[in-house]
Copies of this chain bind each other. A is one copy, B any other.
Amino acid sequence: MPSRGPLAASKPTTLPKPTMTLLKDFRHIILYGLILAILVFALKWLQWKFLIFDNSIDIYIGLVSVFFTVLGIWIATQIVKPKVETVIVEKEIIVTQPEKFIINETELKKLNLNSREYEILQLLTKGHSNADIAQTLFLSLSTIKTHVSNLYFKLDVKSRTQAIEKAKRLKIIE
């Protein structure tokens, strides 16, 4: 077996490809022709030699039969191209990809945060204070506090640092 990757191969797929027959090229045809010609001469010689013994015609025929049978077999092995089995082996390549952050939509939906709460959560993780967020979103501090409290309830946490930790752990925030 050739060298393979660190991970094992799996799911080998067999693809039978019965490509049949045909002589490879004209050189073979000429070669076969020559062989046959030589055989004709040999047979002629044998014919005359064996005809001296009239009874030996059976032996002669037998030899011819065997010879041509073997010849046929040999020709068959030459003209039949092998089946090709293609085995596809899956080779896994491990790639460390530079932070392709994917938001965990499943978790995010489970938490059922509304748009404001999620917006505030994003600012929260950036280290903004409630007052900052209020200014950014043009809302009163009270509103922010309400949203933040609801956010904590939904996230099942008790402080903004816990909220940040959980949000990042659940990958619902970058």
Residues of chain A at the chain B interface (Cβ within 8 Å): 2, 4-5, 9, 11, 13, 15-16, 18, 39, 43, 47, 57-58, 61, 64-77, 80-97, 99-100, 124-129, 157, 159-166, 168
Which of A39, A93, A126, A165 gathers most chain B CB within 10 Å? Answer: A93
Find chain B residues with CB under 8 A from A128 CB: 161
Contact of A64 among B65, B86, B127 (CB under 8 A): B65
In the bound complex, how far is the Cα of B69 from the Cα of A74, in angstroms?
Answer: 9
In the bound complex, how far is the Cα of B36 from the Cα of A90, in angstroms?
Answer: 45
Find chain B residues with CB under 8 A from A74 CB: 72, 76
- Closest residue to A123 on the B side, CB-wise? B161
- Closest residue to A128 on the B side, CB-wise? B161
B91 touches A93 (CB 8 A): yes
In the bound complex, how far is the Cα of B65 from the Cα of A67, in angstroms?
Answer: 8
In the bound complex, how far is the Cα of B62 from the Cα of A47, in angstroms?
Answer: 12
- Closest residue to A91 on the B side, CB-wise? B90
Find chain B residues with CB under 8 A from A125 CB: 161, 165
Find chain B residues with CB under 8 A from A95 CB: 92-97
Asked, given contacts A72-B76, A90-B4, whether A129 binds B159 with beta carbons under 8 Å apart, the answer is yes
Asked, given contacts A64-B64, A68-B68, A90-B91, whether A77 binds B75 with beta carbons under 8 Å apart, the answer is no
Find chain B residues with CB under 8 A from A165 CB: 125-127
In the bound complex, how far is the Cα of B137 from the Cα of A159, in angstroms?
Answer: 20
A161 touches B86 (CB 8 A): no
Which of A95, A124, A129 gathers most chain B CB within 10 Å? Answer: A95
In the bound complex, how far is the Cα of B67 from the Cα of A156, in angstroms?
Answer: 90
Find chain B residues with CB under 8 A from A11 CB: 2
